[in-house]
Amino acid sequence: MKCVLGIDIGTTGAKALLLSENGDVTASQSVEYPLLTPKPNWAEQNPEDWWEATVSAIRTCLEKTPSNAEIQAVGLTGQMHSSVFLDIDGNVLRPAILWCDQRTESQCQQIIDTVGFEQLISYTSNKALTGFTAPKILWLRENEPEVYAKVHKVLLAKDYIRYKLTGTFATDVSDASGTLLFDVANRGWSDEMLQALEIPRQWLPDCYESTDITGYVSEEAASVLELTRGIPVVGGGSDQAAGAIGNGIIREGLASCVLGTSGVVFWHSDMHVSDAQGRLHSFCHAMPNKWHLMGVTLSAGGSLRWFRDTLCQPEIDTYDTIVAKALKVAPGSEGLIFLPYLAGERTPHTDANARGVFLGLTLRHTKSHMARAVLEGITMSLKDCFELGREFGLAPQKICLSGGGARSEIWQQLTADIFGIEVARIGVDEGPAYGAAILATITAGFYDSVEQACNALISTKDSKLPDPSVAKAYGELYSLYKPLYTTLRDHFERNADFVSLNMQG
């Protein structure tokens, strides 16, 4: 049986997936690893944890698969922006700094001061954000010079796994787009940015299109994983681009909403488009000569996980039970509003100091009210992204919902009611690993193009339309939600100053 292997290095765990030549997912397995928060606003992981989880997930998949399975190619995907620093021997120098880490606010301003805001958009199609790679490199230079002096390569999460698999240093255009060192319009590293920030070009991996072969499984990796040596490994894609491939977002007019640890609204574009104000991300898609626009809520499922772990009993209150209890509360949570800025925020506010808020608490409110308010607040933050897209003429008639939150029909209906459009789900619910596997099918010879593969493999499972009366109520609630950030912005900044002074003391 011929198949391909998709690997996803997510924020909560690694996932491996086997996709057969006839389009069946024959096995999938996820293995979790910890998130480290050694200081306020910091988020780190140990890259070796990624590798150990990957090995475990792949081995388990192979155990679930008939012994005649022949893996023809490997596709990779993973969390964007998360930075791995290697020395000349390929050893990890420090824990990886993740996409949701907020320590680099001053470095972002330094980049703007050095390059200029308009030039920055011209060079990279994006503005400087705390989660991106370039400011993390500057932070390392300023705060850990002894580590910086040993840096030989800077890799993204999935590309560290590529290195462990193949021994090669490579990335793809969709993931490179989120480094702030990449010329998104021309799909190559930006010499102007590297020169301005004094970052050596040789630190960066070679860059490929997502279906290009970047290396082959080495003898050492094959032995550890019990795979055949020499299996080709393709470029793959960022988790959002690969997830969009897995959702069939491959043509103009198509969009998706991802309810994962972060939340993302994603639009396909046949042409390079960027926001002069940098409010929306403009990245290369995981398809040759295609691009995408993206809005991000940093703590989507992350907010629900925080609610479960902090205010519930995780061993009793599963996500399903929390959502079921929330359903018993009327839309609007009786005036309780939640702002999901637990890790700062990106779209549309771009504020590392933004913080989570419950507004409107009364003696009447229960944990169920709070649960519904969390779900509503996350979805309204994503609506902020969706509404921003309308300014660019991005107004799809329906949107494809994916990610862990999409498994809930309640959340699917909630999204339809708050967005005010049809919300569909696809038949295969395997996340970015599925998209990574689809990218590998081209090299495996199963399909001639990404478009052909998606047309053959992806179909809609179900869809929900907005309930007019509920949608009207949510329209009114959104008018209360939307201005809250602006009202609280100065308080967020003062609060951040207080925390900073307190930590120093």
Catalytic residues: 239
Beta strands in 271-342 (DSSP E): 281-284, 291-297, 337-339
**Angle between helical axes of 367-390 and 319-327 (0-180°, round to 10):** 90
Radius of gyration of the chain (CA): 22
Residues 253, 270: Cα–Cα separation, whole Å: 10
Q: Report the amino acid identity of residue 445.
A: G
Give residue 60's identity as a one-letter amino acid code: T
Contacts (Cβ under 8 Å, ≥6 apart) of 45: 11, 33, 34, 35, 36, 82, 95, 96, 98
Q: Is 473 exposed, middle or buried (0-12, 13-18, 19+ CB in 10 A)?
A: middle
Q: Between β-strands 237-238 and 255-259, what pairing exists: parallel, antiparallel or unpaired?
A: unpaired
The two three-digit tokens of residue 368, written as one number: 């169920």
Entry field: residues in the chain: 505
> Interhelix angle for 409-419 vs 367-390, to 10°?
50
Quick one: how far is CA 387 from the chain centroid? Answer: 20
For the record, the structure tokens of 344 come out as: 């700062």
CA-to-CA dists, residue 82 to 134, 139, 160, 167, angstroms: 11, 14, 10, 20
Burial class, 259, CB count within 10 angstroms (exposed 0-12 / middle 13-18 / buried 19+): buried
